[in-house]
Amino acid sequence: MTSAAHPTAALPATVRHIVLRRRPVGVPTPDCFALVETPMPVLDDGQMLVRMRVGSVDPAIRGFLDDRPSYLPPVAIDAPVTGMSLGEVVASRHGDWPVGTLVRVLGTWSDHYVITPDALGLERVTPQPGVPLRAYMGALGPVGLTAWVGLVAVGQARPGDTVLVSAAAGATGSTVVQLARAMGCRVVGLAGGADKAALVQRLGADAAIDHRVAPDALAAALDAAAPQGIDVYFDNVGGPLLDLVLPRMREGGRIALCGMIAQYNDADHPHGVTQLWQLVVKRLTLRGFLTYDHADRLAEAQAMLDDLHGRGQLVPLENVHHGFESLPGAFIALMQGQTTGKTLVEI
289-309 pLDDT, tens digit per residue, is 999 889 899 999 999 999 999
Confidence of residue 268 (pLDDT cuts 50, 70, 90): low
Mean pLDDT over each residue of the chain, to the nearest integer: 92
Query: Above 70 in pLDDT, residue 8?
Result: no
Task: Calculate mean pLDDT across residues 167-196.
Answer: 95
Query: Above 50 in pLDDT, residue 3?
Result: no
pLDDT at 65: 95
Task: Calculate mean pLDDT across residues 242-271.
Answer: 81
pLDDT at 300: 96
pLDDT at 9: 59
pLDDT at 278: 95
For the chain, give the percent of residues with pLDDT over 70. Answer: 94
Helices (H), 288-345: 298-310, 327-335
pLDDT at 340: 85
pLDDT at 60: 86
pLDDT at 1: 39
DSSP string, 287-299: EE--GGGGGGGHH
What's the distance, CA 252 to chain centroid? Answer: 27
pLDDT at 271: 65
Q: Which is more confident, 292 or 254?
A: 254
Query: Above 60 in pLDDT, residue 15?
Result: yes
Return the SS3 of 103: strand
Confidence of residue 4 (pLDDT cuts 50, 70, 90): very low
Render pLDDT for 297-344 as a digit per residue (tens, 0 to 9). Answer: 999 999 999 999 999 999 998 999 999 999 999 999 999 887 888 999
pLDDT at 215: 81
Q: What are φ and ψ of residue 67, in 5° steps? A: -90, 70
Q: Which of 35-44, 48-57, 205-214, 258-267 has the lowest mean pLDDT?
A: 258-267
Confidence of residue 263 (pLDDT cuts 50, 70, 90): low
Render pLDDT for 64-121 as a digit per residue (tens, 0 to 9). Answer: 999 987 778 999 999 999 999 999 999 999 999 999 999 999 999 999 999 999 998 8
Task: Calculate mean pLDDT across residues 3-32.
Answer: 84
Q: Report yes or no: 190 and 211 within 8 Å, Cβ to Cβ.
A: yes
For the chain, give the percent of residues with pLDDT over 90. Answer: 78
Instruction: Give the span between the Cα atoms of 148 and 157, in whole angstroms.
Output: 10
Query: Above 70 in pLDDT, residue 2?
Result: no
Query: Above 60 in pLDDT, residue 6?
Result: no
Query: Above 80 in pLDDT, residue 267?
Result: no
Confidence of residue 5 (pLDDT cuts 50, 70, 90): very low
Render pLDDT for 212-246 as a digit per residue (tens, 0 to 9). Answer: 888 889 999 999 999 999 999 999 998 889 999 99
pLDDT at 244: 94
Task: Calculate mean pLDDT across residues 151-159.
Answer: 98
Q: Report yes or no: 337 and 345 within 8 Å, Cβ to Cβ.
A: no
Q: Report yes or no: 322 and 49 within 8 Å, Cβ to Cβ.
A: no
**pTM more than 0.85:** no
Instruction: Give the span between the Cα atoms of 273 and 264, in whole angstroms.
Output: 16
What amino acid occupies position 295? A
Could you tell me which residues come within 8 angstroms of residue 87 by beta carbon, excluding any fewer than 6 positions away?
50, 51, 52, 53, 54, 102, 103, 105, 107, 113
Helix (H) or strand (E) holding 291: none
Q: Report yes or no: 160 and 179 within 8 Å, Cβ to Cβ.
A: no
